[in-house]
Amino acid sequence: MSGKTNHFRFGIISMIILLAAASRLLPHPPNVAPVGGMALFGAAYYGQRYWAFLAPVAAMWISDLVLNNAIYGQYFDHFVWFHGGMLFTYGAFALIVLLGTRLLSRVSLPRLVFAVPCASVIFFLVSNLGVWLTSGLYPPTASGLQLCLVAGVPFFWNTLAGDALYSSVMFGLFEWSARRFPALRPTLSLARKQQPYITKR
């Protein structure tokens, strides 16, 4: 793969991630968000693992800046670059990327179907752990953690729906595009790892 072709593939992958991140700024139900889909998509398609972590995290952080300082700016008395709750969100994001690098080293429909609910469970557990530890809403006991997890169950279904929706759109869009633009196909070394999950027949 030539340098120009490689840059084209990288650019398309990054553009899809940026568009997904930008969709967080649109009105949406709570927790129906592209976080899990972005993490899995980057893990599956970036040739270098560090880009699988860096690019989606950077896109999510930029959208967080807009959300925290423009849309939700009335809840803060200063410009917010980072806050404590984001640590758990980004921690969950990193774990989902790690999951994706393992499960989606070869992209296939069965692997993706398995990876999506796993990503949702990771986000649910880590984000609610953060709420339990930092919000002060629950006692710092095992029963307090249990109460926090139970309270978060309705949001879990939204998380799962968002992960399924965005993963379907992002993976489907890339595979559809790769059929029409051969330059998006991976190099031979990557092709041995990545197989499109949408078949022609």
| DSSP state for residue 153 in the 8-state scheme | H
Q: What is the pLDDT of residue 75?
A: 61
Tell me what the mean pLDDT of segment 80-90 comes to: 74
**pLDDT tens readout for residues 135-188:** 888 999 999 999 999 999 999 999 999 999 999 999 999 998 888 887 787 654
Separation between Cα atoms, residue 67 and residue 197, nearest integer Å: 34
- How many structural domains comprise the chain? 1
Separation between Cα atoms, residue 82 and residue 61, nearest integer Å: 9
For residue 66, which phi and psi values (nearest 5 degrees)?
-70, -45
Two tokens at 4? Answer: 């120009």
The mean pLDDT of the chain is: 82
CA 125 from centre of chain: 15
Q: What is the pLDDT of residue 58?
A: 85
For residue 158, which phi and psi values (nearest 5 degrees)?
-70, -40
* Domain that includes residue 85, residue range: 3-118+154-191
Of the chain, the percentage scoring pLDDT greater than 90 comes to 41
| Assigned domain for 184 exists | yes
| Assigned domain for 130 exists | no
Indicate the angle between helix axes 35-45 and 3-22, nearest 10 degrees. Answer: 170
| Assigned domain for 201 exists | no
For residue 54, which phi and psi values (nearest 5 degrees)?
-70, -50
| Nearest alpha-carbon partner for 125 in 175, 162, 91 | 91
Of the chain, the percentage scoring pLDDT greater than 70 comes to 82
pTM, two decimal places: 0.81
| Assigned domain for 141 exists | no
- Give the model's confidence band at 119: pLDDT under 50 very low, under 70 low, under 90 confident, else very high: very high
| Assigned domain for 147 exists | no
| Assigned domain for 136 exists | no
Compare 114 and 23 and report the one with higher pLDDT: 114
Task: Check whether 194 has a pLDDT greater than 50.
Answer: no
Give the dihedral sign, CA 23/28/31/32.
negative
**pLDDT tens readout for residues 48-83:** 888 888 888 888 788 878 776 776 656 666 666 766
Task: Check whether 38 has a pLDDT greater than 70.
Answer: yes
Tell me what the mean pLDDT of segment 28-47 comes to: 88
Two tokens at 167? Answer: 């993963």
Number of DSSP helices (H) and strands (E) in the chain, helices first:
7, 0
Specify which of 24-38, 58-72, 106-120 reaches the highest per-range mean pLDDT.
106-120
Separation between Cα atoms, residue 98 and residue 108, nearest integer Å: 17
- Give the model's confidence band at 1: pLDDT under 50 very low, under 70 low, under 90 confident, else very high: very low
20 CB neighbour count, 10 Å cutoff:
25
Two tokens at 186? Answer: 């991976």
Q: What is the pLDDT of residue 3?
A: 54
| DSSP state for residue 25 in the 8-state scheme | G
- Give the model's confidence band at 25: pLDDT under 50 very low, under 70 low, under 90 confident, else very high: confident
Separation between Cα atoms, residue 68 and residue 55, nearest integer Å: 20
